[in-house]
Amino acid sequence: MDALTGPVLVLTALLALAGAMKLARPAPTAGALRAMQLPARFVLVRTLGAVELVVGVVALCTASRPWLALTGAAYLAFAAFVAAALVSGAPLQSCGCFGRADTPPTVVHLAVNVVAAATLLLAAATHVAAPADTLADQPWSAVPFVALVATSLYLTYLVLTALPAVLSLSRVP
């Protein structure tokens, strides 16, 4: 098993999850785009969500280099948006990533996006085994591997959604 396989599965699934949440709840993303003076129509947000969902699912299922590169590029775009939001000081209650109103952009969010982009672009430049091949090579019918990927996905989601709220509580005088 390639060392990048687990992180690639987590990050591609995270992109698909973010896309699905934008499809279901476009308002927070539209608000974030509006606060940054970018086009913010719901149809645009839902289209973005659909693209994220498709790119994430195809990259997750195939681990092919072009799809991993697209996924890495998406994370670079997210990093650029978060960096611009942080620098501008725009009053964003949410970055809009997961269709939640209470996930403001933070330096942690920026770091996760940069690391995700670097990981996926590295995976695109090298070879990552197809997920089906990786799962077939795992002991115990891949249950421990799938559990680890699912746990890592959930923890990454919490870092991006719950950690900003916890950190903001620690700044309250």
The pLDDT confidence band at residue 1, using thresholds 50, 70 and 90, is very low
**CA distance readout (Å), 104 to 43, 167, 169:** 22, 11, 13
User: What is the per-residue pLDDT across 138-171, written as a single tens digit (0 to 9) for each?
Assistant: 877 778 888 999 999 999 998 888 887 777 777 6
**CA distance readout (Å), 116 to 65, 85, 91, 151, 170:** 15, 19, 25, 17, 27
Tell me the C-alpha distance between 157 and 154, whole Å: 5
Q: Which among 62, 78, 48, 58 has a CA at the least distance from the CA of 129?
A: 62
**pTM (two decimals):** 0.90
Tokens of 32: 């974030």
